[in-house]
Every structure is written in C-alpha cells, then in structure tokens.
Structure 1
Amino acid sequence: MAFSKENRQGTIYGIIFVAIFAAAATSIAQISFVKSLGISPLVIGIVLGIFYANTLHNHIPSAWGTGITFSGKKILRFAIVFYGFRITFQQIMDVGLSGFTVSLIMLSTTFLLGTYLGVKAFKMDRDTSMLTAAGASVCGAAAVLATEPVLKAEGYKTAVAVSMVVLFGTISMFLYPVLYASIIEPATGFLHMTPEQFGIYTGGTIHEVAQVVAVPASVPGAPEVMANSAVIVKMTRVIMIAPMLIILGIYLSMQAKKTGKAGDKLQLVIPWFAVYFIGMAGFNSLDLVPHAIVGTINQIDTFLLTMAMTALGMGTIFSKFKGLGLAPLYTAGVMFAWLVVGGFVVTKFVTGAL
C-alpha cells in the first residue's frame, strides 16, 4: 500500500518530486512561444518525465517510486473525474445534432480503425493499439490517460500513444489554418466550408483541446462562430470518453471470459471514474458553482493531470520500446489521414453540404 507505515514517507516524497516537475512543465507552458504553439503542460510534463527516466532515475531513492506510481494511477483518476467541470450538457446541446453526429462518427470509426490496424496490419500489442487509437479519436493525451487504467497497460505504452498525439496533433495545428486559407475558404464548390462547418470539422478531428482552440486563432479574421463551434464539438468528443470507456470495459470483460480458464468468474471492468466524470459534468451543467471557482478547479485539475503525465513519463525507459519499430507511427499516420480526409467528408455530409 502506498501509504502503509513502511511506504508512507517514500510515497509523500515521490508525490512532491512529481509535483516539482509538473510545476516546471506548467511554467514552461506559459512561455509565449510555447503557448502560441498550443502545447499543453500535460505534453511538456511527459517530456520532462521521459528525460528524467532516461538520465537521472538511478540517482533518486527507489522508495520514491511508490509516490510516482501513485501520481500516475490514483491522482490520474481523481483528475479525470474533475475534468467534468470543463463541460456542460448545455454546451453539447448548443452545437446541435450535426456536431454530435460528427463527433460520434469520427470517434467510433477512428478508434476501431486504429485498433484494427495496430493489431492486425502493423502487429502491435492490443494495449498500445487501443491507447494510440484513444488519443486520436477522443481528446489526445487526456484520453490516453483515461484509457490506461481500464486496460491496465504499462506506462511506456501510454508514453508511445501520447507521443503520437503530440506529433500528429501538432501537424494538425499548422495544417488546418493553411487548408482553410488556401483551399477551403476561397472555394465555391465541394471544398468550400462555412466558418461554422470548419469549426465543426476542426473540433471533430483534431487531437487536443488546446490544439483545437489554437486553429481558429490562427485563421486571420476568423469569426467567433468558428471558434465556438470548434470548442463545443471538441468538448462533445471529450464527454464521450466516459461511455466509450464503459463499453470498452464491458468488451474487455467479455474477452476475459472467452479466454479465461473454465470456471473463472467474470469480473466486469467498469471504469467508475468515467461514470463519476459524467456526474461531475451534469453537476457543472446546473451552474451552481461560481465561474471563478470553476476556473480555479480547472487550473488545479490541469496541474493534477500534468502530474499524472509526468509520472507516466518517469516510468518510460527507451529500452522498453525495442520491438515496436515504426508500427505506432504507421498506425497513427493512417488515423491522421482518416481524420483529415474522412472527417472533411463526414462533416460536409452531416451538415447537409453534400
């Protein structure tokens, strides 16, 4: 136990150690240049954690490991629950049926495509495939973090998935404004999108929330409706992580029953933190808490998520990546192509532009 008498001191020191790294990641994310790129402190945290894991980890007391593990597991679940304070059911309703439909189609198809290709075509293990698919289909690094405890995956696999989110999410952030300025906006035929449609397209296909926010801000003269549509559709995808994880938990339980020994009792894997996440979003929808307090909660929650990412990075040693090869890159690349091209077609179809 992390806080048993013999482990308590090491756990506390380990948590403080992770918090110091998370504070550094938060400070770096506030630098103007870094902020302009839309790189979240979560991503910086895992980079710092990976740097530590492959340089200094042998110089830190091993007793602190329980605190690092606690940060990557327990604090993670707590932070995911309070992520619900970023969403209201009213926001989802405001974007309408079209935004919800685009979110649902892109989430489900991208997750299934990424999982299938990762396992069948590129011969990755199931956990890495699903984590990579979750990051691309839902909400980037936060989705990878939320899926990891359901799969009970090793930390380095989570880091692989997050690295794919960073790579292709960053490419999206630069690609989409160029597409809109040079192809989509000036066209009058099939390629043309209204600002609202482009916002739905952006929110339904780009990985990270911060990256979604950055795209409309990078389009000169972009109307407010573009940014609003993008954020609301993105947050719709975020809230879908809860039912996705519940379905995934049921699926894993069914698979365990099929492959288990005769007489084994089926244990349903329900990620209760995902259920609590929905409940927190519902509570937030009642608007009972002052906005200033909600803002503070979200800031604290971002820091806790950064701690979790940092802790996962601290468990990532490059030697463990041997054997994976380029499979994660290929899998994430195909999903990226589907999000960009398939997401465009789906958005045009759902919004009645085809």
Structure 2
Amino acid sequence: MSAVARSRPSPLFRLLPGLGLTLAVAALAVLVGNAGWGRSLGFSPLTLAIVLGMVLGNTVYPPLSRTCEAGVTFSKGTLLRAGIILYGFRLTWQQLLGVGAQGLLSAVFMLGSTFLLACLLGRWLRLDRQSAVLIGAGSSICGAAAVLATEPVVKAKAGQVTVAVATVVIFGTLSIFLYPAMNALHLWPFAGPAFGVYIGSSVHEVAQVVAAGKAVSASVADVAVTTKLIRVMLLAPFLLLLSAWWNGQAAASTAGNPRQPIPVPWFAFGFIAAALFNSLRLLPDSAVSLLLNVDTWLLTMAMAALGLTTHLSTLRQAGLKPLVLGGLLMVWLVVGGGLFQWGLAALHL
C-alpha cells in the first residue's frame, strides 16, 4: 500500500467533523426547544437549529467548511431522509379514523387548496418555482418538516430551503397568538372541537398547533393535534404526486433529449411503511418514544446543516417575494380555513 493511500482518511473519518458540528448545534437547539419558555412560544428544535446554524454559518463556519463539508452534506442529505422515514412513527391509522370526516375533509381541502394557491401566487409574483413549492408545502402540510421533505424532490438549494423555512416559521408563530385571540373574541360561529379542527387544519407546525390549542383548552388541543397529524400523514402521497408532476414538467422541458430515469422519493414509501407498522402497535411505547427522539435529532441535525450552508446574501437576494407569498397563504389559511369549517358546521358534518 502506498504512503498516499495510507494517509488518505476513510469515508467515515471524513464525516466525523461535520457530523460533530451539526450534532452540537442540534443539541443546543433541542435543549432550548425543550425548555419551558421555548415550548410556550412554539419554537421547535427544528426552527431553532436553522437559526443557530445560520448564525454560525455566517461567522465561525466558513474557515471550518473544508474540514466539515462532508459531514454537513451527509446531515442535510442522508440524515434528512432517515428522519422523514422515522417521522412516520408519529402517526397511526387509528388516529386518522378517530378524528372523523370533519377533520379528514378539512385537512385534505386545506392542503390541496393552499398548495395550489402557492403555485399560482408564486407564478404571479415571479418567484422561482422551487421556492414557491417549498413555501406552499410548508404552509399546507407541516411547516419546516414538510419543507425539508420536499427539498430532495425539487432539488432546491440550501438558500431556498432556508428562506422557505424562515417564511413558514414567521407566519406560523403569528398563528400561536392569532387563533386563541379569535376564539376569545368569538369571531367564528363555532367553538369547542370544531375550533380544534380549525387550528389543526390551518396552523403550520405541530409545535405551533400544540401551543395555539392549549391556549384555548386541553380538549381543543387534543382535537387540533389529531387533525394536524392527518395533514402530516398526507405528506407521503403529496410527495409522490409532487414527484410525478415535477419530473413530468422536467421531461416536457427537455423534449428531444435522451430520456432520463425519473427519480422516485423512496423515503416517502419508508414514511408510509413506518406509519403502517406503527399502527399495528407491535412495539412497546418505550421503543416508539426512543425512535421519535432519534427522529427529532436527525431532523434537527439536518436543519442545522442547512443553516450552516446558508449565507445572509442569499436571504437578501430573495427579497420580499417569499414573505409576500407566505403572508397571502397565511390569510387564506385563516380566512379560507374558517369559512370551510363554518360550512361544515352548517352542514352538521
């Protein structure tokens, strides 16, 4: 064996510096996110990780990037897909059946209408397609986790992902205070479980749904979280449909060129398999809890990696268009979601 071969580090060794860095950022984000004040504000570890990652990415990380690049890239690629698969253990089909037709109809309608609106408004605003799709997915499904899951399908850049996450976090955070205020002022002609369905079908992140629901009542929070989990469960079919549409558009734009294989988001099938397996309740609660903890760490490390590789110049270049799109989608979620819920209540569904 030559001296050069002996001196070349192994692939695993090359990953360690970057993995260690993303793990450290994730640990701080989890610590702060699990603190009492962090939970009360609805700041999930995912949100905090990308913020901390961006701070480090624009200060101390550039000199370290050459050493850490392999592990950081691994975190926002392989660890991300593993985290999306394990995310399925948060769901069971029993939850889907338990919330009833009202929750299912609300979740499906709000997801489809919000994402379609995001695509139309993104074209009107002349926003790049990847950003519009990412913001639409985050607003219509489950915030930062949906943005992360959509990124591999549309092959978005780190900066586009960061802008999308920041946009859905800003407006999702506003929801924490807006929905309890609407309930207190009786702005909608429905309350109780129906208001829980309203929150769960129109608020961005799971953590934000919990915070907004608990600000109303514990029973409303339970219904809100269950409805929200239905939206999360729709993530897998959404990714499969998006992949077919996105690759169909790409194929149409390259007509006449050699046919390329269509990439399939296999991690979406893993997500479905995890949810189905979890529905069988073959694992003890302690094992499921462990898997969910691992999942939180994997997704938080992926978010940290995205933050580390995002430069502030990218956010400046994005301008106000992503915020305008996120704001318009927020208006639709609040108004359209309320009107749809009012219609269901009028039909006694």
Deviation at 1:5, TM superposition (A): 5.0
Question: Is the 2:26–2:49 contact (alpha carbons within 8 Å) kept by the matching residues of 1?
Answer: yes
Q: Distance in 1 between matches of 2:11 and 2:159?
A: 24
Does residue 165 (structure 1) correspond to residue 168 (structure 2)? The answer is yes
**Residues 95-110 of structure 1: matches in 2 within 5 Å?**
95-110=99-114
Contact 1:252 1:269 (8 Å CA) reproduced: no
Q: Distance in 1 between matches of 2:108 and 2:215?
A: 26
| Structure 2 unaligned spans of 5+ | 1-7
- AA aligned to 2:249 is Q
For residue 217 of structure 1, the aligned residue among 214, 219, 229 is: 214
Give the Cα–Cα distance (whole angstroms) in 2 for the partners of residues 202 and 267 of structure 1: 41
CA 1:65–1:230 in structure 2 vs 1: closer, same or farther (change >3 Å)? same
**Matching residue's letter, 1:323:** Q
Farther-moved stretch of structure 1 (54-63 vs 154-163): 54-63
Offset from partner CA, 1:298-320 (integer Å, 9 cap, x none) = 11111111001100111110112
Report percent identity of matched pairs: 40
Please state if 1:247 is matched with 2:250: no
Pairing 1:34–2:38 present: yes
Aligned residue runs from structure 1 range 162-241, under 5 A: 162-184=165-187, 191-219=188-216, 222=217, 224=219, 226-241=220-235
In structure 2, the partner of 1:87 is 91
Match of 1:72 among 52, 76, 94: 76
Query: Do the aligned partners of residues 82 and 331 (structure 1) sit closer, same or farther apart at CA in structure 2, a change above 3 Å counting?
Result: same
Task: Report the alpha carbon displacement of residue 6 of structure 1 after superposing the two structures with TM.
Answer: 5.5
Q: Which amino acid aligns with 1:336?
A: M
Say if 1:79 and 1:304, in contact at 8 Å, map to a contact too. Answer: yes
Which one of 136, 151, 175 corresponds to residue 148 of structure 1? 151
Separation of aligned partners in 2, 1:181 and 1:306: 34
1:16 maps to a residue whose letter is G
Post-superposition offset of 1:267: 2.5
Residue by residue over 1:230-254, the C-alpha shift from the partner in whole angstroms, topping out at 9 and shown as x without a partner, is 1111000001010011001001121
SS of 2:319's partner is coil
SS at match of 1:183: coil
CA distance in 1 between partners of 2:211 and 2:276 (Å): 27
Query: Does residue 17 of structure 2 align to residue 13 of structure 1?
Result: yes
Q: Offset of 1:28 from its aligned partner? A: 1.1
Deviation at 1:116, TM superposition (A): 1.6
Query: Which has the higher mean CA deviation after the structures are superposed, 274-283 or 252-261?
Result: 252-261
Give the TM-score normalised by the residue count of structure 1.
0.93
Mapped contact 1:203–1:229 kept (Cα < 8 A): yes
2:183 and 2:191 in contact (8 A); partners too: no
Aligned residues of 1:113 and 1:335 also touching (Cα < 8 A): yes
2:189 and 2:342 in contact (8 A); partners too: no
Residues 272-283 of structure 1 mapped to structure 2, 5 A cutoff: 272-283=266-277
Say which of 307, 315, 319 aligns to 1:325.
319
The match for 1:294 is: 288
Pick one of 263, 275, 279 that aligns with 1:285: 279
Q: What RMSD over aligned residues (CA atoms) do the two structures have, in Å?
A: 1.5
Q: Map of 1:253-268 to 2, 5 A cutoff?
A: 253-268=247-262
Secondary structure of 2:263's aligned partner: coil
Q: TM-score, normalised by structure 2?
A: 0.94
- 1:297 positional shift: 1.2
1:223: Cα distance to partner? 5.2
The one-letter code of the counterpart of 1:213 is: V
Q: Which moved more, 1:242-251 or 1:252-261?
A: 252-261
Alignment match, 2:4: none
Mapped to 1, the partners of 2:10 and 2:65 lie a distance apart of 14
Structure 1 stretch displaced more, 79-88 or 51-60:
51-60
SS in 2 for 1:323: helix
